[in-house]
Amino acid sequence: MKGFGFRERDEATDNRKPPSSSSSSSSSSSAAAASSWSTLFSSAFSIFDPYRHSQSSCKHRHHAWASAVKRIVSGGPMRRIHESFVLGSARTGLSNSTSDIWLLGVRYNVSSDDEAVGLAAFEQDFSSRVIMTYRKGFDAIGDSSYTSDVNWGCMLRSSQMLVAQALLFHRLGRSWRKPSDKLLTQEYIDILHHFGDTEACPFSIHSLIQSGKAYGLAAGSWVGPYAMCRSWEILVRSKREELINHGEPALPMAIYVVSGDEDGERGGAPVLCIEDAKRHCSEFSRGQSEWAPILLLVPLVLGLGKVNPRYVPSLRAIFSFPQSLGVLGGKPGASTYMIGVQDEEVFYLDPHEVQPAVTINRDNLEADTSSYHCSVIRHITLDSLDPSLAIGFYCRDKDDFDNFCSRASELAKESNGAPLFTVAETPSSNSNSNCASRGVSHGDPDEGDYCRDEPTGPTEGEDDWQFL
């Protein structure tokens, strides 16, 4: 494990600040110092865990002492020391670059004075995306004693954000922006309600953990992108019988997890099979329609330790797809939801702010939804990303899917033998889960840098995701 990382921000200070100027990236020596300080702080805080849930009187004084020391170490000057040495310089706001920004398939010219495509339009679009963060004070998850997902639920929250965007695109369209007044729509409120922090909400953290048990999901434990995608597949299918939105299921679309050989447990670029997508759509519509809206999830491992540079151009390009839902991933040990790109920087929504648990009532069209949006524009470099990640796409209909396949095939052809994934028409003769390539020559990716060892439980390969 590379670090515990107790990265939690004050709920009242971080979510609604205006964008600030960008700071320079950390040097390699700073990164080394950050690693050392991360180990120091993580180790120091780990001693408090045995006391946290103690109920016996004999340990009460120890618990009080530990809590007091933790408040000192995690607050004020010590917090600033931690942020400086462990988290590095803040990378918020925009750089001085005049290059276009791509945000989930929409291009913005930041140097333009046109309000429709300029900086202001980008900022409005960014702040309209739904953000899910750590929450505290919800009902205990299952049989556990966890009433908060602080320090372990960031991958689950990141995945909730991606699915929430898919629902926004489906119900309200890509051009939807959060209104500045209190006139909220029923569709918008319904979407937020789905992600409430209670077992009654279909896409709550409680429901995700219950559905993902087969892939190692448990309260207080880490999870990687592959297991997260498969858990969503199980959850969505289990909720398909619950018609809650005017006769529609909670997620009114098919879901298809695109993986490589033997469910991604062997090397090679995953293959999106058109026949498989068609089958998923038919199953979703119960055979009444050949096609349906579809959510595509593509878990990937793009290197060892860091993203192989060969994949960076393709990874940057997927943000320009009209069907793009962004990327689950981030730095080692800290999952985020990446939604845009400019040059070599990716913009992301950060789930590591701690906020009180909330469940939006579906009947309350004047609900306070401010905790589901963020105006702070954060970014990290593409080459600093953890290589274990997952890409999402939403295709509204068959024409949209065909357009996506055309773009994906062209991207694979231009990848110089290192495609993120390929597109095929039909299953190959030697496997029910693989497809014959649709004329796409993707070469032989470096097996050493493109392994797909995704377990159903914790192993060393995904230890980075454990605590954040």
What positions carry a catalytic annotation?
154, 350, 352
Contacts of 399 (CB under 8 A, 6+ apart): none
In order of 111, 157, 386, 387, 389, the CA distances from 305 in angstroms are 36, 23, 7, 7, 12
CA 444, CA 430: separation in Å to the nearest integer?
19
CB 463 within 8 A of CB 1: yes
Cα–Cα distance between 453 and 431 in angstroms, integer? 19
Q: For strand 134-136 and strand 354-356, is the pairing parallel, antiparallel, or unpaired? A: parallel
Q: From start to end of 164-293, where are the E strands?
A: 243-245, 248-249, 254-257, 271-273
Q: Tell me which residue of 358, 276, 178, 335 sits closest to 284, measured CA to CA.
A: 276
Residue burial 92-124, b: 16+ Cβ < 10 Å; e: rest: bebbeeeebbbbbbbebbbeeeeeebebebbbe
First to last CA, the chain: 11
Our CA dihedral for 102, 384, 134, 183, rounded to 10 degrees, sits at: -10
Give dist(CA 132, CA 77) in Å, integer: 28
The residue type at 221: S
- Phi, psi torsion values for 111, nearest 5 degrees: -90, 0
Is the CB of residue 269 less than 8 Å from the CB of residue 422?
yes
Please tell me the distance from the alpha carbon of residue 454 to that of residue 468, in angstroms, as a whole number: 19
Residue (of 257, 243, 247) closest to 159 by Cα position: 257
Residue 88 C-alpha from the chain's centroid: 21
Instruction: Give, as one character, the DSSP assignment of residue 337.
Output: E
CA angle, residues 197, 198, 202, in degrees to nearest 5: 95
